[in-house]
Amino acid sequence: MTVTLLNDTSLLDSGMTVPLSSGETYFNYCWLREACLTCIDPQTRERIFDLASLPELPRARAARVQGKLLVIEWRHEAQPSHVPIALLEEVATRGRPADPADLPRHLWYADHGARFTRVSQQAVLNDPAARAQLTRALIEDGIAIVTNMAEDGESLPRLVNSIGPITPSAEGLFFDVRVEIEPTNLAFTAGPLEMHTDLPGEEAAPGVQFLHCLQNTVEGGLSLFLDGAAVAEALRVEDPEAFDVLANYKIPFFYRHDAWDYRAHQRVIETDPEGRVTGVTISQHLQDTMDLPQELLDRYYPAFVKFLKMMQEDRFLVRFRSEAGNCVIFDNHRIVHGREGYVADSGMRHLRGCYSDRGALRSTYRVLARQGYLGQPAEQDVQQRA
Ligand SMILES: [Fe+2]
């Protein structure tokens, strides 16, 4: 095993530099102390080291690279720390440890409908490779279709539970989209449903939506989907000021009926700390009275209306007929959906829906990836999709 003693000049007051493949890289001593392999309990896999239990902040007196480990001798501790060099390399290059679920979003446009990932329910339930393909598509594309759903009453929860627990909403664990006599939501009428994301009035709007089509024999009623992240990125290019105003200010939403009164503020365009678009929130039928300062609204409304109009453009919209036996799954913080109106007495249209969580989706994908199921499209799928 190769041992390389680190030079005293590497050891600074609050941290040290380590020679890595990308060059000398600085790490803080507290961070290194917490990265020691002994800090994680192998049974519970939780952190069992309390940095505040040390009499002083850690400071190295010597360090060496020994095989695949950085070994640090501390001034005020008898035991050295062992930190994997691989972790240091990941943090040096990515800024954080590797995450198999941190997959880049594939923005998509109107021509993508035929290429949505389709996997049968049987495969999702029984084959981890198919489950990985589905969950990966939901992370990358934000949408996928499960085909050949079983017709029994437990079919939808069986599918959802293979990805994550069902998260309830005001409607309960499930909701039925069909014409109702006294609807609590415009979705439960035969009218057109403008492009929206679901339930923005909740503090944390539902993460992943499942829509299982049980019956659809009506005239009209085509389902509409678009990639809100693709529209937001197009707005950033075409009108950066409009993008900024929608990404920086929150507007109010509600969901109100006899037995509930939800209210929350959301940003129409969600970005992460790196400025990347992570999603959108839009719902004119659940939008509350705007409460931004009136002078700011002079700038906000033109940007907002521009974004709404973009979401009606053919370059972004995918239209398709929901078919009985299919379940569309989509990221409710990214994929904007709607429906064309239909003739109520022309047949039956019944969709059953529920929600799960984006964190649960990523958790399921990480576990599958750890088992070697990365979800890359199978060869025959690539040929079919080409
Ligand atoms: Fe909806």
Question: Nearest-CA neighbor of 158 among 122, 185, 189, 133?
Answer: 122
CA of 76 to the centre of ligand 1 (A): 59
Query: Is residue 99 included in any domain, yes or no?
Result: no
Shared domain check, 42 and 186: no
CA of 185 to the centre of ligand 1 (A): 9
Query: Is residue 104 included in any domain, yes or no?
Result: no
- Give the pLDDT confidence score for residue 379 in this predicted structure: 44
CA of 129 to the centre of ligand 1 (A): 30
- Give the pLDDT confidence score for residue 181 in this predicted structure: 64
Shared domain check, 169 and 75: no
Query: Is residue 101 included in any domain, yes or no?
Result: no
Q: Find the domain containing 28 and state its range.
A: 3-94
Determine the residue type at 116.
F
Strand-strand pairing, 260-267 and 335-339:
unpaired
What are the backbone dihedrals phi and psi of residue 233, each rounded to the nearest 5 degrees, phi first? Answer: -65, -35
Shared domain check, 121 and 78: no
CA of 198 to the centre of ligand 1 (A): 5
Residue carrying structure tokens 């939008």: 287
What are the backbone dihedrals phi and psi of residue 269, each rounded to the nearest 5 degrees, phi first? Answer: -115, 120
Query: Is residue 70 included in any domain, yes or no?
Result: yes
CA of 295 to the centre of ligand 1 (A): 32
Shared domain check, 214 and 306: yes
Shared domain check, 257 and 172: yes
Q: Is 341 exposed, middle or buried (0-12, 13-18, 19+ CB in 10 A)?
A: middle
- Give the pLDDT confidence score for residue 381 in this predicted structure: 46
Shared domain check, 133 and 37: no
Mean pLDDT by 10 residues, the chain (386 residues): 84 96 96 95 92 95 96 95 97 94 95 95 98 97 97 95 95 87 73 91 95 90 95 98 98 93 97 92 95 98 97 95 94 95 83 96 98 76 42
Domain total in the chain: 2
Shared domain check, 165 and 36: no
- Give the pLDDT confidence score for residue 2 in this predicted structure: 84
CA of 209 to the centre of ligand 1 (A): 9
From 64, 94, 124, the end of a domain falls on 94
**CATH number for the domain including 36?**
3.30.2020.30
Q: For 277-314, what is each residue's pLDDT tens digit?
A: 999 999 999 999 999 999 999 999 999 999 999 999 99
* Residue 55 Rama label (left phi>0; alpha psi -120 to 50; beta): alpha
Query: Is residue 103 included in any domain, yes or no?
Result: no
Shared domain check, 152 and 70: no
Shared domain check, 114 and 84: no
Query: Is residue 248 included in any domain, yes or no?
Result: yes
Determine the residue type at 210.
F
CA of 274 to the centre of ligand 1 (A): 29
Determine the residue type at 100.
P
Q: pTM value?
A: 0.90
CA of 211 to the centre of ligand 1 (A): 9
Shared domain check, 118 and 90: no
Shared domain check, 256 and 201: yes
**CATH number for the domain including 363?**
3.60.130.10
CA of 330 to the centre of ligand 1 (A): 11
CA of 342 to the centre of ligand 1 (A): 16
From 39, 64, 94, the end of a domain falls on 94
